[in-house]
Structure 1
Amino acid sequence: MGAHVLESNSSGNFTPAVAGVELPGYLAVVLSVLMVALDVVVVAGNALVIMAFIVDKTLRNQSNYFFLNLAISDFLVGAFCIPMYIPYNLTGRWMLGKGLCKVWLIMDYLLCTASVFNIVLISYDRFLSVTRAVKYRAQRNMTRQAVFKMVAVWALAFLLYGPAIIFWEVIVGDSVVPSHECYAEFYFTWYFLLSASTFEFFTPFVSVAFFNLSIYLNIHRRTKNVNLGAEDAVRTRPVGKQQTDGASWSVFFVKTRKVSSSEPAAITAVIEDDVDVLSPSSCNNSQIFLQREKFSPNRINPRLFQHAAAPGRTTQAARLSRDKQIAKSLAIIVCIFGICWAPYTLLMIIRAACSGECVANYWYEITFWLLWLNSAINPFLYPLCHSSFRRAFSKILCPKRPSVQPQVEVQSC
């Protein structure tokens, strides 16, 4: 976040440059194309998420409101921050005035920080949906609570850097930023950057890692318990048989559960594994099956256990595969967040500590663009992993194509 210290050549004529390094004409063109392409991906990907939320009313629950908040922050990065930075990046000169520079800095720091806080909020929401599933489902349609959390994200993101950008020059007494450049006054103040980075990156990264690891361990534990329950059901003799004229009524219960298409993917992955053989006392949400069978005292009718044994036999491999897939998804979330933010955060602190003399400008430039790359990845990493959003995207992009509404939401990544 924040602009870079860009340098002009000795003659005062500004040529295409990246962080003070002059580039040949063809490289400048390639770089410009890459910047514009990244901007298009950021804007288009996040705009699609916002449109899906507007078009499909079934998406409007607490969990998906947080995806919307993330998409808004990332969309504004592509719509405002990147377009204003590209000319400055290529020419090495800020030509929009000091006032607009302040506005751009506030928006850049605000939007990037809000994006990070939204990722933490989404991970926390997933954590609650798994560890406190019953309470979470009872509150998932409370829009007011979701809106409060969304506003809190923006308020905290602004308070982290906004006042410093606005008032640093007033408190210090003078400005250290040349008129033709645009960067924050605290650009070389390492102790402030270290303190701010603790709240902007280090704490969020640890939080996201903890939440997602807890989600995986919880799903893994539930899957293991379901497998053990299915094995116990196979070994148990049938109950509820009443012999009548050489025949019997076999009574068994199969749990049925319709899952809303908007229910969080993390909890629906757990629900998919929640296949139980129920007792008569727990049949409120179940269907009761009665089947007339020939009675044989010397053998157990295997058909009676068809529904109890099948999950243990036929879905054990599927559950193991799903566990690995969920673990991979959560690992990707944490790794991409770390890859996009750790290099910039560390180099920013090191650069400030040594007054910019120990880190080459082009390395800092690369890490800076990684932050905005994260805004391009987020719409693919989060909403596109949920079939409810994919169905909404299909309605927008292919309106004439018929869509099938499945009963069970599946997390596919």
Structure 2
Amino acid sequence: MGAHLPGSNSSGNLTPAVSEAETALPGYLVVILSVLMVTLVVVVVAGNALVILAFIVDKTLRNQSNYFFLNLAIADFLVGAFCIPVYIPYNLTGRWMLGKGLCKVWLVMDYLVCTASVFNIVLISYDRFLSVTRAVKYRAQRNLTRQAVLKMLAVWVLAFLLYGPAIILWETVVGRSIVPSHECYAEFYFTWYFLLSASTFEFFTPFVSVTFFNISIYLNIYCRNKKLSASIEDSDKPQNTIKHTDGGMWSVLFVKTRKVSSEAAAISAVIEDDMQYPSSCGEHNASQIFMQQQRFSPDRKNLRLFQHTASGVRPGRRTQGTRLSRDKKIAKSLAIIVCIFGICWAPYTLLMIIRAACSGKCVSKYWYEVTFWLLWLNSAINPFLYPLCHSSFRRAFSKILCPKRQSVQPQIEAQSC
């Protein structure tokens, strides 16, 4: 979301400059800035194009969670393919020379893709939150492509509604334009109350939401980790009895088996899948597990076998420990999301509101320039920050970049971080 500051040679979200004499830069500085801008364009376009291409060549990536990464990559790709290239000449010369119509198009696209990028980050964070705290329900719905596509479309619709109508209709509603013909920025550029309201939905609410998801995941993992440690301590004690209910009273039966039938093992696997990934600590107690076993058991005579299988916590503990380790990696990557998102968006959002409140007189153009480019820098970081922490994406990238090497190496099961 950019613009050049009126009356300066700095770039910023939605604003421009004044006379050519004032905006003229030394030749060496123009070269340096041009190289840096072109480099940013290449990184943004190449990084996000690689993510999009990965979806085309690797069908195993096409699940709900990864579709949200695709949506983010599309938004960030448009930043590098359209928004930055159109802005570079304007930034270097201080004059908009493409006409008012294209100015409107550029502003709508700039605000749209940057806002969509933010909303996609929230969607990805929410998806990871569900995968950790509502694991059983999440796994049952993760392959619902139609639901994922609807969420992706909702991101773009909401992103457009936040700024698009204001950019297009503000001049008509007010009855006049405050933007000079040689500049390009939104008509609401100095309307602080509109910017404050929009920023609430564009930055503050998403930032609080992502932070909440992150904290919730950490609390869930802490609780499960504590429960797993207690389970390990209990399993180390000698256990030669199991419990069985009869008429509502608990009795103790001694069970001595060396093998479990394949039927019992299959039913136990169904039960274990429901038990190993509770959404919160202490979700399943002994009676709930027993009722599940009774419900799935086709033969009451084999009830003790089912109980014995379900109570064998060692294999289940390994599975639970593996998932706990995976969820810890999700929590770490989500913490990085919060930090990077805050670093890239908070400075610009705050300065934008302050600048509008004081009509641009209390914010240095150089500080505004830095905070503005941080927004687009986020689009360059995203393809590395999100997909590259998944082994499934790394394997897909390897197929694209090193096809010969990939054909020799054995396939490794995808495991998200």
| TM bracket, shorter-chain basis | 0.7 to 0.9
How far the C-alpha of 1:8 sits from its partner, in A, is 7.0
Distance in 1 of aligned mates of 2:127 and 2:330:
16
1:115 aligned partner: 117
Distance in 2 of aligned mates of 1:228 and 1:251:
27
How far the C-alpha of 1:319 sits from its partner, in A, is 9.4
Cα distance per residue 1:275-297 (max 9 Å; x no partner) = xxx99959x9xxxxxxxxxxxxx
3-state DSSP of counterpart to 1:204: helix
How far the C-alpha of 1:205 sits from its partner, in A, is 0.3
How far the C-alpha of 1:215 sits from its partner, in A, is 1.7
Percent same amino acid at aligned positions? 75
Give TM-score, length-normalised by structure 2: 0.78
3-state DSSP of counterpart to 2:20: coil
Distance in 1 of aligned mates of 2:72 and 2:360:
32
Amino acid of the structure 1 residue aligned with 2:81: A
Cα distance per residue 1:246-291 (max 9 Å; x no partner) = xx8645889989xxxxxxxxx9xx9xxxxxxx99959x9xxxxxxx
1:244 aligned partner: none
Distance in 2 of aligned mates of 1:24 and 1:391:
46
Residue 382 (1) aligns with residue 386 (2)? yes
Distance in 2 of aligned mates of 1:203 and 1:158:
17
Distance in 1 of aligned mates of 2:368 and 2:125:
29
Cα distance per residue 1:137-166 (max 9 Å; x no partner) = 111111111111111000000000000000
Distance in 2 of aligned mates of 1:216 and 1:22:
51
How far the C-alpha of 1:96 sits from its partner, in A, is 0.4
1:167 aligned partner: 169
Report 1:247-262 matches (<5 A).
250=258
Residue 341 (1) aligns with residue 370 (2)? no
Contact 1:344 1:367 in 2 (8 A): yes
2:103 aligned partner: 101
Give TM-score, length-normalised by structure 1: 0.78
State the 4+ residue runs in structure 1 displaced beyond 4 angstroms. 248-257, 278-282, 309-312, 318-327
Cα distance per residue 1:78-115 (max 9 Å; x no partner) = 00000000010011000000000000000000000000
The alignment of Structure 1 onto Structure 2 pairs a total of residues equal to: 356
Amino acid of the structure 2 residue aligned with 1:386: H
Distance in 1 of aligned mates of 2:384 and 2:85:
22
2:179 aligned partner: 177
2:231 aligned partner: 229
2:221 aligned partner: 219
* Greater fraction of residues in helix: 2
Report 1:75-154 matches (<5 A).
75-154=77-156
Structure 1 pair 23–256 and aligned structure 2 pair: CA distance change class (3 A): farther
Residue 5 (1) aligns with residue 9 (2)? no
Report 1:233-248 matches (<5 A).
233-238=235-240
1:394 aligned partner: 398
Report 1:264-343 matches (<5 A).
308=314, 326-343=330-347
Distance in 1 of aligned mates of 2:200 and 2:222:
31
Q: Which runs of 5+ in 1 are unaligned?
A: 241-247, 258-266, 271-277, 285-305
Q: Which runs of 5+ in 2 are unaligned?
A: 10-17, 243-255, 271-276, 281-288, 297-311
1:292 aligned partner: none
Amino acid of the structure 2 residue aligned with 1:3: A
Structure 1 pair 408–73 and aligned structure 2 pair: CA distance change class (3 A): closer
1:409 aligned partner: 415
Cα distance per residue 1:222-251 (max 9 Å; x no partner) = 2222222122111133469xxxxxxx8645
Distance in 2 of aligned mates of 1:118 and 1:13:
39
Structure 1 pair 150–309 and aligned structure 2 pair: CA distance change class (3 A): closer
3-state DSSP of counterpart to 1:187: coil
Distance in 1 of aligned mates of 2:313 and 2:360:
68
